[in-house]
Amino acid sequence: MTDALTTLLAKGQAMTRDDLRTLLGLTDPQDRKRLYDAAYEVKARTVGRVDYYRGLLEFSNRCIKNCKYCGIRRDNEEVERFDTDRKDLLAMAKWAYDNRYGSLTLQSGERQDEEFIAYVEGLLRDIKELSHGELGITLCVGEQTEETYRRWFQAGAHRYLLRIETSNPALYATLHPQDGHHEWSVRKACLEALHRIGYQVGTGVMIGLPGQTLDDLAGDILFYRDMDIDMIGMGPYVVHHNTPIGKEVVAAGGNTEAAQQERFILGLNMIAVTRLFLPDRNIAATTALQALNPLGRELGLKAGANILMPIVTLPKFRPDYLLYDNKPCVEDSPDQCRNCLAGRVASVGDTVGFGKWGDSLHYFKEHPEQERR
Ligand code: 5AD
Ligand code: SF4
């Protein structure tokens, strides 16, 4: 495999679907090291050895959706539902600004009612104002109408994250209730609407889902390319004990340490192969990586990721925002998360791009008229 691997790693953007699948399936530690080193080298050469923070503010766990893998799904009655007070939200936004985070990501469960839409709109204007227009704002609040996305864009959001979860519609159908409200085609149409409006668009998938193949994962990377995705946030699937999929996986013996390790490795392989194939995108080392391995996020950065999302959520609400079991950082404060991640970045030999937006290079190739910050 050695020579074949050298050839494959050098193919970069010319890789075929078969090539992507072959690299994604590497399991031998030495082969994997070569994959990660090659991806890190591409990262260093294209986006640089600078990692950017996106403070993650999980402001409400109310959700109208019932995704079968997620711990805050509507039917999980073990969860106490919360909303963050506006003044606390603005205080956390100010904290992120004062700490020179490039941008803030506002995340919540999905709601589509006018009260919610207007609330987010007002919040965006207030955050823009308190940071003198400097704090970049990313939204991650689910599927909405194009009109809503447009209102929020006009109020100051410039990036939007909406994971496609998997590029395979048949697999998507097994992960979501078939009630007419969880349609893959709608999610894809949302990504297209976001692009039309002018957002920098982020998406991602879960890795190691039951029934998912290496070919599906290769398809996910091609989906990022074909949909012109600027920001990629993906991580291993992690069991949540009180969800339909979590219970199925546990019952089938699919949550052993070995199985978790396999999903973790697939997660790293996805980051590295995506960096080789799509060198100019922003790619996150997600918290889910660290749920499966204490060094998960550092290893993600070393495999080619360049974005970290320190949690800025109020400590009192963190235990109620558990999408999966063993979520790290639940006991920590925003200050602790800031310092802890700075240590992780330094341990890799990178630096943090404080005070910069760190926009995706890819977006600016598509929009040369815009100023990159
Ligand atoms: N494991 C990993 N990721 C999950 N998400 C939701 N539940 C899980 C889980 N059990 C991810 C989904 C969603 C994002 C907000 O969190 O990809 O889009
Ligand atoms: Fe709601 Fe998102 Fe969880 Fe689905 S994944 S239940 S939309 S919070």
pLDDT, position 3: 85
Separation of 324 CA from ligand 1 center, angstroms?
7
To the nearest 10°, the Cα dihedral for 169, 173, 175, 177? Answer: 150
Alpha carbon nearest to ligand 1 atom 14, residue: 163
How high is the pLDDT of residue 204?
Answer: 98
Q: What's the confidence (pLDDT) of residue 13?
A: 95
Joined together, the tokens standing for residue 124 give: 């965006």
Confidence of residue 165 (pLDDT cuts 50, 70, 90): very high
Helix axes of 17-24 and 214-226: crossing angle, nearest 10 degrees: 130
Whether residue 70 has pLDDT greater than 70: yes
- Residue holding tokens 């994971």? 163
Q: What is the DSSP letter of 281?
A: S
The model carries a pTM of 0.96
Assess whether pLDDT exceeds 70 at residue 108: yes
> pLDDT, tens digit, for every residue of 339-371?
888 899 999 999 998 877 777 877 777 777 776
> Relative to the CA of 107, which ligand 1 atom is closest?
15
Q: Which atom of ligand 1 is nearest to the CA of 323?
A: 7
* Mean pLDDT of the 256-268 span: 97
Q: What is the mean predicted confidence (pLDDT) over 258-268?
A: 98
- Largest Cα separation within the chain, whole Å, is 59
* Cα 26 to ligand 2 centroid, rounded to whole Å: 31
Instruction: Find the Cα–Cα–Cα–Cα dihedral 297, 224, 11, 347, rounded to 10°.
Output: -10
Q: Is the CB of 204 under 6 A from ligand 2?
A: no
Q: For residue 24, is pLDDT > 60?
A: yes
pLDDT at 41 over 80: yes
Please state, as a whole number, how many other Cβ atoms lie within 10 Å of the Cβ of residue 251: 9
Q: Is the CB of 156 under 6 A from ligand 2?
A: no
Q: Say yes or no: CB of residue 188 within 6 Å of ligand 2.
A: no
Banded model confidence at residue 2, pLDDT cuts 50, 70, 90: low
Ligand 2 lined by 73 (C-beta under 6 Å): yes
182 lines ligand 2 (CB under 6 A): no
Please identify, by atom number, the ligand 2 atom nearest to the C-alpha of residue 73.
Answer: 6
Ligand 1, atom 7: nearest CA belongs to which residue?
70
Contact indicator for 159, 137 with CB cutoff of 8 Å = yes
326 Cα to the center of ligand 1, angstroms: 13
What is the number of other CB atoms lying within 10 angstroms of the CB of residue 350?
A: 21
pLDDT on residue 354:
84
Q: Return d(Cα 210, Cα 254) in angstroms, integer.
A: 9
CB of 160 within 6 A of ligand 1: the answer is no
The backbone region for 12, taken as left when phi is positive above 0, alpha when psi lies in -120 to 50, beta otherwise, is left
Atom of ligand 2 nearest to the CA of 63: 1
Residue from 67, 70, 162, 176 whose mutation best tests the ligand 1 pocket (most atoms within 8 A of CB): 70
Alpha-carbon span 243 to 357, nearest angstrom = 36
User: Of all protein residues, whose CA lies closest to atom 18 belonging to ligand 1?
Assistant: 163
Kindly identify the ligand whose nearest atom is closest to the C-alpha of 246: 1
Helices (H) and strands (E) counted in the chain, each on its own, are: 15, 11
234 CA: nearest ligand 1 atom: 17
Among residues 367, 304, 338, the alpha carbon closest in space to that of 46 is found at 304
- State the distance from the centre of ligand 2 to the C-alpha of 175, rounded, in angstroms: 11
Relative to the alpha carbon of 112, which ligand is closest? 2
Of 110 and 135, which is predicted with more confidence?
110
- What's the distance, Cα to Cα, between the start and end of the chain in Å? 42
pLDDT at res. 373? 64
The residue assigned the tokens 């890190």 is 40
Q: Which residues contact 343 (CB under 8 A, 6 or more apart)?
A: none
Q: What is the mean pLDDT of residues 118-134?
A: 94
Nearest ligand to residue 165 Cα:
1
- What is the atom index within ligand 2 of the atom nearest the CA of 71? 3
Kindly indicate the confidence band of residue 250, based on its pLDDT and cuts at 50, 70 and 90: very high
8 Å CB contact between 71 and 243: yes
CA-nearest residue, atom 6 of ligand 1 = 70
What's the gap in Å between 14 CA and the centre of ligand 1? Answer: 31
In a 13 Å sphere around the CA of 59, the CA atoms on its Cβ side amount to 25
pLDDT in tens, 49-67: 999 989 999 999 999 999 9
Q: Compute, in angstroms, the gap from residue 7 CA to the centroid of ligand 1.
A: 35
Atom of ligand 1 at shortest range from CA of 324: 10
Q: What integer pLDDT is reported at residue 215 of this predicted model?
A: 98
Q: Which atom of ligand 1 is nearest to the CA of 165?
A: 17
Nearest ligand, CA 72: 2
Concatenating the DSSP letter of every residue in 20-46 gives: HHHHHT--SHHHHHHHHHHHHHHHHHH
| Mean per-residue pLDDT over the chain, rounded | 94
User: 310, 307, 308: which is closest to 282 by C-alpha?
Assistant: 307
